[in-house]
Amino acid sequence: MNSFRPDQLSADLQALVEYRKLESGQALFYKGDLAQATFWLETGQLKLLHYTSDGQAVNHYRIRAGESFAEVALFINFYDCTAIAEAPSRVALLPKQPILAALRERPDLAEEVMKQLAWRLHQAKILLELRSIRSARNRVLHYLKLSSDQRSVQLEQPMRIIAEDLALTPEALSRALTQLEEEGVIARQRRMVQFL
Amino acid sequence: MNSFRPDQLSADLQALVEYRKLESGQALFYKGDLAQATFWLETGQLKLLHYTSDGQAVNHYRIRAGESFAEVALFINFYDCTAIAEAPSRVALLPKQPILAALRERPDLAEEVMKQLAWRLHQAKILLELRSIRSARNRVLHYLKLSSDQRSVQLEQPMRIIAEDLALTPEALSRALTQLEEEGVIARQRRMVQFL
DNA sequence: CGCATAGTTGACTACGCTCAACCCTGGTGG
DNA sequence: CCACCAGGGTTGAGCGTAGTCAACTATGCG
């Protein structure tokens, strides 16, 4: 998760790293921008998303402090999604060409990057799987199972955020949860959900 | 696209490669199987997909002769989707551990794999984007734009396959196309579609 | 010419979205 | 201590659109 942690890079590479501060809501790059760097998030939180032609935002995934992201940028010319800060953030900009050169020299770094890319692809498939479930009930159920360690889930985020992740309206999510409860599939108390 | 073309591997690695023949419709691996190898498709065609809990198939992408695939398997323990032959096929099985070792020795190979992983991730995001368009009309339009070089598209595959890729029923696809035609957005003659 | 298959059209249904009202909780101030 | 308010969450009614199933048409092949 930290392939490009700058302090693990060689000194001459570190010298090329720039930092950028972002306000909450500010964009780091937009879909279609020329991809000139890959990144590592020092502090804060970002989300990667795109917009449909009618302006709806579609979330890909969130980046938390300590993670590198947009490794894909090393191998394509334009960013394929938009990155927006969800909290005040500080990001390390890792310029493309020097990093590519370093990858040729350092198999350990290359392996980290491969792991990271594989992980993201895996996650993307899981997301695709989730999103391709049509019914709200089953989509929510699948989501709960994904995020449950053993038999119960603590819903940390507000319902409207969870609804966003599920590509549902808050109303649809609410209805799906009550339905699952009525069916006796889950039980709820406050933000705690458990399977029966 | 051919990172693991066996004839480009060292002789001792080639010695470890096994081949497997598949009938049309036969599975190479299932989602959840222990991931022990990555693959290269010599001849034929495969599709990668998963099944929703109610048995619907959801396509990820197709593999054509000459492509390597399932590189992700090198870095995760279980396949995250199912691979099924769409035509009689011959597949090279590249065992995980020796390949991982080779990647540490050969930066050129590692770079190929990174490129391939990045490409797949890019494609997955494009698919996610397509699938997250709600209305059939706009989804079809987006698809047409994606697959059009300049102003027109030749629809090579039968409509029911295209509908599958779009996660629509053939009926919905048909209606969307006639609607776009009535709106004067596209014109159709046989399987040729052009923008107006 | 007749049949099989792909594609289209029609009628109906189901389900998620929209918008609005309502409820419940926690926090604030009188 | 309680009245008030604000926000997140829930419930309700109506609508739109894709799915379903069936009938029909067009195309290609024996």
What does the alpha-carbon distance between residue A48 and residue A162 come to, in Å, rounded to a whole number? 15
Q: Which tens digits make up the pLDDT trace of A128-182? A: 999 889 899 999 999 999 988 888 899 988 999 999 989 999 999 999 999 999 9
Which residue of chain B has the CA closest to A106? Answer: B107
For A:113-172, CB contacts with B below 8 A are 113-115, 117-122, 124-129, 131-133, 138, 142, 167
- Which residues lie below 8 Å from residue A178, measured CB to CB, with a gap of 6+? none
Could you give the 3-state DSSP secondary structure of residue A101? helix
What does the alpha-carbon distance between residue A168 and residue B127 come to, in Å, rounded to a whole number? 19
Average pLDDT on A83-109 reads: 92
What pLDDT does residue B185 have?
93
Could you give the 3-state DSSP secondary structure of residue B154? strand
The strands making up A18-22's β-sheet, listed across from edge to edge, are A18-22, A89-95, A37-43, A68-69
What does the alpha-carbon distance between residue B182 and residue B178 come to, in Å, rounded to a whole number? 6
The DSSP-derived string for B17-74 is -EEEEE-TT-EEE-TTSB--EEEEEEESEEEEEEE-TTS-EEEEEEEETT-EE-GGGG
Residue nearest D19, CA–C1′ metric: B169
What is chain B's Cα-based Rg? 19
Residues in chain A with CB shorter than 8 Å from the CB of B105 are: 107
Which residue of chain A has the CA closest to B141? Answer: A53
What pLDDT does residue A149 have?
82
A1 has a pLDDT exceeding 60 = no
What does the alpha-carbon distance between residue A30 and residue A48 come to, in Å, rounded to a whole number? 10
Nearest-CA neighbor of A130 among B24, B53, B61?
A: B53
Helix (H) or strand (E) holding A102, with range, is helix A96-105
Per run of 10 residues, the mean pLDDT along chain B (length 196 residues) is 76 87 92 95 91 82 92 95 91 94 91 94 92 92 90 90 92 96 91 90
Q: Are B101 and B9 in contact (CB under 8 A)?
A: no
Residue nearest D21, CA–C1′ metric: B171
Domains of chain A: 6-131 (2.60.120.10), 136-195 (1.10.10.10)
What pLDDT does residue B1 have?
53
